[in-house]
Structure 1
Amino acid sequence: MTSPQNIAAWLPGVGKQLEVGPADTPVPDNNELLVEVKAVAVQPAEYKIQEGVLPFPLKYPTIIGLSFSGVVVNVGSAVTRFKIGDRIVTNSAGTIRNDSRFGGYQRYALTTQELTAKIGDVPFEQAAAVSNLYGAASALFLHLGLEKPSGPPTPKRDGKVLIWGASSSFGAYATQLAAEAGYTVVGVASARNAELVRSFGAAHFVDRNSATVSDELIALGPFKAVLAAADAAPDQVVLGRVLSAHGGGSFLSTMGLRPGVTLPVGVEGKFAQYVDDYLDPKNKDSTEWLWWDYLEQALQERKLRVVPVTRIGGLEKVQEAWNLLHKGAVSGERLVITPGLE
């Protein structure tokens, strides 16, 4: 059998521009799937790896891209849950594995069955856009200690959850998960995304650019959990002020405490690497719940409201997509790359 021809967007090294070129077609090992990649969700962490802001110890040249959807074209001998022809969405954890074969920005990529969900007839672009739900679930349920959704009827749980950056893809899914779990969500984003954030299930909306944002949040608190899903240094200063007004506490940030930010006494900014959670055997039950139970059902029953998706193009457009994210030119939408449609 002749291996299909592969092509990839290669990252030659830190600070270097992407180069599109040939790649070997991977062969799946025992627990692995070979996927014909149909859509890759572009993430801010990717351009930060390129710039060296996120110092992953990667062997270059490499292929990154974590969250993608596609069709299974080959399976390893120990794979029991998937078969050739299945339409799936996955997180390959490629940067954690330091293995370019698992990078999503190529036509054929490897992944594992543990971090994969079937998508039925959901469009590939939409499925890929939901694939970073894993980060929101990990943040809320493993790191912030909230209860997971338990199915209808939705329970009413004590405590408010503050999500800063609720119109980002990360924040959007965190908002939906927290609301579905029964918590009262306070969403913070730019005013132009107010209705979008409310549509995700936020009970209260606060404009991040308002001159009274601190006072409004202090009045709505205290908070059972605080997640900074998309935040800059000035945002963290506001979060510090709000938490301090309620006696202290901590917030979880996707980037950790920003350089130059000094928080009040009794307030802490924390960071977590969410992909690691799903590779840890002690979290096996949470991993299977998310990928094989919740995500499959939520996708196929159209339960999740997807952040608007914009297809920017094929592999030759990955660098352009990263540049747009770096410039802050993307808001309230998710950029998607489609490797097979150049």
Structure 2
Amino acid sequence: MFQIEYPAILGYTFGGTVVSVGPNVDSVKVGDRVAVACWGRAAVDKRFGAYQKYPLALEENLVKLDSQTSLEEGSGVMANLATVVAALSICMKLDYPPIDDRAPSNGKRILIYGGSSSVGGLAVQYATDAGYDVVTTSSPANWDLVQRRGPSSTIDHTLPREQLLESIKASGPYDGIFDAIGSAEVTELMGELLAEDGGLFWSTSPTPADSRLPKNVKKEWGGYSDILVSRDENKDAKVWYLQEYLPKGLSGGRIFSNPSYIFPGGLESVQDALDAFMAGKISGKKVFVNPQDQ
């Protein structure tokens, strides 16, 4: 386990243009555009944190972008999609999707709660492309965004709780459930959904509500990106993701981020951007700051 050192420079994913390379780096050159995730030891080393003008990047943690892919698009999906690959295909054992097409329907139905979130939207498209019938949730404000991902059904999560629960039940049964929100409220809702017959659902994080789940309902969660990129048993999946699925999907336009919102003010605005996001003032968008802005 890597321990963070203080003072720390945070920021987990970024995109940029290479200005210098180390002596043993041969996959990129000066002038190349890349998307980077701070996985492994880079996650706790301040030299690699995104919230600075010139962060370092480990060669194994980057993807080279073609001229058609924006920095926002590449960096906006890199870590979130790694989470999806690990959660759905490694942990939940769902099929991997084709790289440049959609698989035929396999007749299985998956619930992905939170289809307008960054992870949720990518999960909806990933599972749909793998041949699953996907039911998801969204507010009406983000309906069009979610529909671009190809779900078979989208449920309004702003409905009164009992009506929401009944709508989710009526769209089942489900061969797998993934909660892309990870809140206590959704944990409780999934507990109610599964309480009658029992079952398992996967989520993005623990919550205080976990201990209150019915005894016949099990919740699993994990550090999904780390599961994909840091475990030897998943090295083939990592290679497939970083060298095939992600770069080709971005280049061909099949993989895309939620719309980007660049928060003005450069590095001085990082805290304001985080505060706005945590306060729920920004929905259905990926928030960026440009460290080169003054």
Give the TM-score normalised by structure 1.
Answer: 0.78
Give the distance between the partners of 1:240 and 1:201, measured in 2 at CA. Answer: 26
Task: Tell me the residue number matched to 2:262.
Answer: 311
User: Of Structure 1 and Structure 2, which has the larger fraction of its residues in strand?
Assistant: 1
Q: Which runs of 4+ in 1 moved over 3 A?
A: 94-97, 257-261
2:242 is the alignment partner of 1:297: no
Task: Tell me the residue number matched to 1:5.
Answer: none
From 44, 64, 68, give the equivalent of 1:98.
44
Aligned-residue offset at 1:260: 6.8
Task: Tell me the residue number matched to 1:338.
Answer: 290
* Pair 1:68–1:217, CA change in 2 (3 A): same
Aligned-residue offset at 1:261: 5.5
Task: Tell me the residue number matched to 1:12.
Answer: none
Contact 1:92–1:110 (8 Å) recurs in 2: no
From 9, 19, 26, give the equivalent of 1:63.
9
* Pair 1:217–1:279, CA change in 2 (3 A): same
* Pair 1:114–1:196, CA change in 2 (3 A): same
Task: Tell me the residue number matched to 1:43.
Answer: none
What CA deviation, in whole Å up to 9, does each residue of 1:96-135 have, x standing for no partner? 6421111111111122222221211212122221222111
Contact 1:162–1:186 (8 Å) recurs in 2: yes
2:71 is the alignment partner of 1:124: yes
What CA deviation, in whole Å up to 9, does each residue of 1:239-287 have, x standing for no partner? 1121234x22222221224347611221112220123221222221111
* Pair 1:210–1:309, CA change in 2 (3 A): same
Aligned-residue offset at 1:57: 4.1
Task: Tell me the residue number matched to 2:281.
Answer: 329
From 176, 200, 206, give the equivalent of 2:125.
176
Aligned-residue offset at 1:229: 0.8
Contact 2:114–2:136 (8 Å) recurs in 1: yes
Q: Partner letter of residue 143 of structure 1?
A: C
Give the distance between the partners of 1:275 and 1:107, measured in 2 at CA. Answer: 25
Task: Tell me the residue number matched to 1:287.
Answer: 238
From 177, 187, 199, give the equivalent of 2:136.
187
Aligned-residue offset at 1:153: 5.0
Q: Partner letter of residue 111 of structure 1?
A: A
Q: Partner letter of residue 58 of structure 2?
A: T
Task: Tell me the residue number matched to 1:276.
Answer: 226
Count of aligned positions: 286
Aligned-residue offset at 1:62: 0.6
* Pair 1:322–1:94, CA change in 2 (3 A): farther
Structure 1 vs Structure 2 CA RMSD: 1.9
Q: Percent identity?
A: 32
Tell me whether 272-281 or 252-261 shows the greater mean CA deviation.
Answer: 252-261
Tell me whether 163-172 or 296-305 shows the greater mean CA deviation.
Answer: 296-305
Contact 1:63–1:103 (8 Å) recurs in 2: yes
Give the distance between the partners of 2:233 and 2:57, measured in 1 at CA. Answer: 20
Q: Partner letter of residue 181 of structure 2?
A: A
Give the distance between the partners of 1:128 and 1:180, measured in 2 at CA. Answer: 21
Task: Tell me the residue number matched to 1:223.
Answer: 174
Give the distance between the partners of 2:154 and 2:291, measured in 1 at CA. Answer: 37
2:111 is the alignment partner of 1:162: yes
Aligned-residue offset at 1:95: 7.2
Give the distance between the partners of 2:182 and 2:263, measured in 1 at CA. Answer: 24
Task: Tell me the residue number matched to 1:149.
Answer: 97
What CA deviation, in whole Å up to 9, does each residue of 1:164-190 have, x standing for no partner? 111011111111111111111111122
Give the distance between the partners of 1:238 and 1:259, measured in 2 at CA. Answer: 10
What CA deviation, in whole Å up to 9, does each residue of 1:177-236 have, x standing for no partner? 111111111111223222221211111011112121111111211212211111422221
Tell me whether 76-85 or 165-174 shows the greater mean CA deviation.
Answer: 76-85
